[in-house]
Structure 1
Amino acid sequence: MPSTARAGAFVLATALALGFSSTAAYAIGEKNNQNPPGPSGGADKNTLNAGVGTTNITVNQVSGGKGGSSAKPLAPVDPNWRPPACWYEPVATSEQVKAATDQLKKTPNENLVHVTPTLSWGQELMVNTYEKGKAANADTKAYKNFNLGKDGKFWRGVVNPDMEDDPAAYDCEETLFWQDAGTLPKIANAPTPKVLASYAYDKIKVPDTKVELKPEARSTVNLPTWVWLDKGTFEDVKVRAELPGTGLWAETTAKPVGLHLEPGTADARTFPASGDCEVDDDGSIGTPYTKGSSKEDPPCGIAYQRATGGKPFQLKASITWEITWEGSGGTGGDLPNGTFDGTQDVEVQEIQSINR
């Protein structure tokens, strides 16, 4: 039987055999973890206050991303790209696992402890596995006296909260296991710098895409509208992700590399013809309009060929961001480019002439 099927069967068999399918679940670990949906429990002194729904990865935007509340997340250009659905993290000390088990001894028929993202154990399994050293089955490890006195932590699977509906979210079903301090588990879905970089990808926030236009208020049929972005508006955005207690970190950087224009009507020409405006060496896109340039072709712009007639065209401006990362241990690489769209109204008028 495949390991995932074995894990699922064991979850079901354990729940049915012990009658725990609807019992409240205590959870162990650090304060940043939260319980998944459903009954949950807690206790004092940060012993039983955690669950499996939220990672302990910390994410901080190091630079860029000006725009405050208007900053928005990127959308991957590759529709098939997905961030990691689950991974393993250190979640509890020996003392915390012991305290959780001691609590179960006091209320054996009321509470459980999460040992995987989907599986919770009661008193008997916790005592046998983590106190007496008796493995629950051939697929689980056992420990004597909770490994008290040893330097390290117990690890458990974590589900990416943005990927809960992905089947791969249930690939981290190793039961709560010990890892010595300063080491990383050598198993599938162990955390890596690339996992952190990919997780940070979804946390990148970039400024809203609103381009400068000239003429500002109203364009004229067949006369170019100049489009540009100043170099200070769009700069590199860097996000750092760290997994405490592991020495793992990654910094994911988004760099603007191009602007794509869609006029909002088929009756228009874009400059260049592809509608793709490249980023200049100084970080700007396009060239600001100057007096006397109204009849010139702009390096980045649009010429509308009919008037709006009371309903403005919706100019769509999409910024493409190149995504790279670097991390602990000299690691690094590329991730799929991201994009962010913005729309704005453009009014277009007919050329007015006066006959004398």
Structure 2
Amino acid sequence: MKRVNRALCLLAAALVALMSSAAGAYGYGESDDMAPSPPPPGPSGGASGNALTASATTTGIKIRQVSGGGSGTSPKTLAPVDPNWEPPACWYEPVATPQQLKDAVDRLKKGGDLVPVTPSLSWGEQLMVDHYGKGKAEFDSGEGYENYNLGKDGYFWRGVINENRRNELDSMDCERTLFWQNANTLPDDEHAPTPDVLAAYAYDKINVPGTEVELKPAAKSTVNLPTWVWLDRATFQEVKVRAELPNAGVWAETTAKPVALHLNAGTEDAETYPASGDCAINDDGSIGTPYTKGDADKTPPCGIRYLRASGGEPFQLKASITWQISWEGSGGANGDLPDGTFETTQDMNVQEIQSINR
């Protein structure tokens, strides 16, 4: 078996870029630029023993926010409550039909500015022809292919790196050479794009409204008198994001549901209501109770009582929304993901006055 060197690895990266460029009509993005390891944005090539690897950060997964997110608000991403949870580092995707792969190799034969690879292009190109066109097992994939599998129903697949984890070692786990997969089937591989993988990928794409909580008094509170905190039910609704992988028949919808508001007064000289600082979601989807005239001396179901004045610097009131994450996907699959949080900070000026206007 011929030795695979860096020149051939770069060739594979260029081939992936060519196929990505040619696949626009099939739902794939623009071609990526090559760059050396650690994996940068765009395709990268490497060798593991005699196995050729080719991966890219341009994914074919389509993301759509189905519902929620608020109106007129600044969208924010969620931070997982579990600090050890991470989305998948890499997975496999369909990248080219037999005809697309043949066309890409034919372009490599002709050279030109689409293939700024290496002086040993002809040697690498011949390996590609032998492996995918002539059925010779040139790489450690266990098989070669006759005439690029023209006439068969399916796709050649490649490894894809999660763009948010491209500098991590795990991102290089999807190192299989471009391989064939029959239509409407998934690879028998731990890095196959199953619904749970798409659901976890969609987690990073959830945008929740960044609206501040409602306060009464709004910006200036009074020592020893409660500040009421609430959120309108129309502001924080479920957010649903759909991730779908074209030509693989796989999809998942990840839903974020607001379940609690946690208050941090920004000082130890304060009391929260309830004492834990955790304000639950009401049955109608709202949080807390809006302040009404005459409530000044009442204890709010969700709120804060400051015990001293803020002085020259306002206290930093932190309000953190907890979002419960669940998902469902193709084939009836479903499950849960770690809760997510989004935190806002608001200035609270507290004055030394023992009465307020009612």
- For normalisation by structure 1, the TM-score amounts to 0.85
SS at match of 1:104: helix
- Which amino acid counterpart does residue 343 of structure 1 have in structure 2? T
Aligned residues: 327
* CA gap 1:20/1:186 in 2 versus in 1, 3 angstroms: closer
- Cα deviation 1:271-320 (Å, max 9, x = unaligned): 11110100011001011111111111111000001111132111000000
- Which amino acid counterpart does residue 73 of structure 1 have in structure 2? T
1:229 matched residue in structure 2: 231
2:50 matched residue in structure 1: none
SS at match of 2:4: helix
After superposition, residues 106-255 of structure 1 pair within 5 angstroms as 106-107=110-111, 111=115, 122-255=124-257
Cα distance in structure 1, aligned partners of 2:155 and 2:245: 14
Deviates most, 233-242 or 344-353: 344-353
* CA gap 1:305/1:291 in 2 versus in 1, 3 angstroms: same
1:3 matched residue in structure 2: none
- Cα deviation 1:305-350 (Å, max 9, x = unaligned): 1111132111000000000000010000100000000001111111
2:291 matched residue in structure 1: 289
Deviates most, 64-73 or 188-197: 64-73
Matched, 1:72 2:76: yes
8 Å Cα contact 2:254-2:327 kept in structure 1: yes
State the Cα distance separating 1:150 from its structure 2 match.
1.1
State the Cα distance separating 1:122 from its structure 2 match.
2.7
- Given the alignment, which residue of 4, 27, 32 partners 1:14? 4
State the Cα distance separating 1:218 from its structure 2 match.
1.5
State the Cα distance separating 1:208 from its structure 2 match.
0.7
- Cα deviation 1:124-160 (Å, max 9, x = unaligned): 2111100111111444421011111111111111111
2:14 matched residue in structure 1: 25
Cα distance in structure 2, aligned partners of 1:20 and 1:183: 28
State the Cα distance separating 1:19 from its structure 2 match.
7.2
State the Cα distance separating 1:102 from its structure 2 match.
1.1
SS at match of 1:196: helix
Deviates most, 180-189 or 148-157: 180-189
Unaligned runs of 5+ in 2: 37-41, 44-53, 118-122
State the Cα distance separating 1:249 from its structure 2 match.
0.6
State the Cα distance separating 1:81 from its structure 2 match.
0.3
Cα distance in structure 2, aligned partners of 1:103 and 1:293: 76
8 Å Cα contact 1:23-1:111 kept in structure 2: no
8 Å Cα contact 2:73-2:211 kept in structure 1: no
1:38 matched residue in structure 2: 35
1:105 matched residue in structure 2: 109
* CA gap 1:85/1:68 in 2 versus in 1, 3 angstroms: farther
- Cα deviation 1:181-200 (Å, max 9, x = unaligned): 12221122011011110000
- Cα deviation 1:198-230 (Å, max 9, x = unaligned): 000000000114111111232110000010001
- Which amino acid counterpart does residue 38 of structure 1 have in structure 2? A
* CA gap 1:129/1:69 in 2 versus in 1, 3 angstroms: farther
1:270 matched residue in structure 2: 272
8 Å Cα contact 1:209-1:319 kept in structure 2: no
- Given the alignment, which residue of 92, 99, 122 partners 1:95? 99
* CA gap 1:242/1:293 in 2 versus in 1, 3 angstroms: same
SS at match of 2:14: strand
1:325 matched residue in structure 2: 327
CA RMSD of aligned residues (A): 2.7
- For normalisation by structure 2, the TM-score amounts to 0.85
8 Å Cα contact 1:179-1:185 kept in structure 2: yes
SS at match of 2:309: coil
- Segments of 4+ moved more than 3 angstroms: 18-24, 108-113, 137-140
Percentage identity across aligned positions? 62
Cα distance in structure 2, aligned partners of 1:231 and 1:100: 53
SS at match of 1:95: helix
Cα distance in structure 2, aligned partners of 1:232 and 1:94: 50
- Which amino acid counterpart does residue 14 of structure 2 have in structure 1? A
Matched, 1:341 2:343: yes
Matched, 1:63 2:53: no
Cα distance in structure 2, aligned partners of 1:133 and 1:107: 23
Cα distance in structure 2, aligned partners of 1:171 and 1:349: 58
- Cα deviation 1:39-69 (Å, max 9, x = unaligned): 999xxxxxxxx98221100000000001446
Matched, 1:300 2:302: yes
SS at match of 1:122: helix
- Which amino acid counterpart does residue 293 of structure 1 have in structure 2? D
